[in-house]
Amino acid sequence: MVVSGFRRSLSFSNQSIKPRKTLHVRSTSLPCRSSSHPVISQLKDEINELKSWNSSEATSACVCEGLNRLKIVHESLDDFLQLPQTKESLSCHSDLIEKFLEDCLRFVDVYGIFQTLFLTLKHEYLAIQMAVRRKDEAKTAMHVKNLNKIAKEIGKLESSVQSIGKNYLFSDNFDSEFAEIIRDVIEVTASVSVSLFGGLSTALGSRKPPRMGLSWKKVKIQQGIQEFQQINLEKLMGLRNNYEEEIKMVSKKMQELVEDCMAEIECCGERSFRSLINTRVSLLNVLTQ
């Protein structure tokens, strides 16, 4: 039985992302090293674009760009998995599909947890904003402490994705083109995820430096996402009534953070989450058909 996935949306919030090309002709010829199917060529181009994406700016816009590019890659991967030659090749390597399924499920689980944590994070910022307006130092301190706990939980998600994609074994008769695509998709998915989770956990609270030696990490997060770090919550807890203007300014920044930056990250994360589910659904269909 074919498992149905989510309907995909073609709307993008970040205008800097190149629109996907419409393919009018789909060839059913078997791929070879000298001439790839158009879908495969497009997928490779999108993977390379994501590999060249630079996350060193550590802004919410940059992170969202990475998430949107990741969504595009997984949509093209879904097209790739629908090709007859892909199904024919993967059907002979059930062990590989099961390993890929396992890794996709781990990504899905991580992003599902992240959505819950991020919703809690939004509520904490709104609660802090309310406590600041009321000059309630005790509640402000309590919610700031909660932010630190959330930071640690998001940091655990970063550690989880760092271990995904290891121990892939390919037999000698397995097409190297397929093997390269699978490795690359796992690699860029982990890279974008590390930038998202690492940038947030660093901005929200202190943590240990990220693990070194990861082959896919072209750029390592040196600082947290800027919009979150611009709000000095520790300083906020020490403000008194004579800092009325500064309190108003911080409260306004938090409102902008929640309504703009956090809303955009939440939306982009949701899209990536759904694209990951669709990838796993397509892999399940390869196994069951």
Burial 84-115 (b: 16+ CB within 10 A, else e): ebbeebbeebeebbebbbebbebbbebbeebe
CA distances (Å), origin 107, targets 125, 160, 162, 190, 196: 26, 9, 11, 8, 13
Backbone angles phi, psi at 122, to 5 degrees: -60, -45
Q: Which residues lie closer than 8 Å to 170 by C-beta, 6 or more apart?
A: 96, 176, 179
Give residue 34's region: left, alpha or beta (phi > 0; psi -120 to 50).
Answer: alpha
Helices (H), 134-262: 137-162, 176-204, 226-229, 233-236, 244-256
Give residue 212's region: left, alpha or beta (phi > 0; psi -120 to 50).
Answer: beta
Cα 235 off chain centre by:
31
Going residue by residue through the chain, which has 289 residues, state the pLDDT in tens, using 9 for 90 and above. 444 444 444 333 444 444 444 333 333 333 444 346 899 999 999 999 999 887 667 899 999 999 999 999 999 999 998 888 888 877 777 777 888 889 999 999 999 999 999 999 999 999 988 888 887 888 888 998 999 999 999 999 999 998 897 766 555 555 677 878 888 999 999 999 999 999 999 998 744 444 434 443 443 444 689 999 888 766 666 555 556 777 778 788 888 899 999 999 999 999 999 999 999 998 888 877 7
Count other Cβ atoms within 10 Å, centred on residue 49: 15
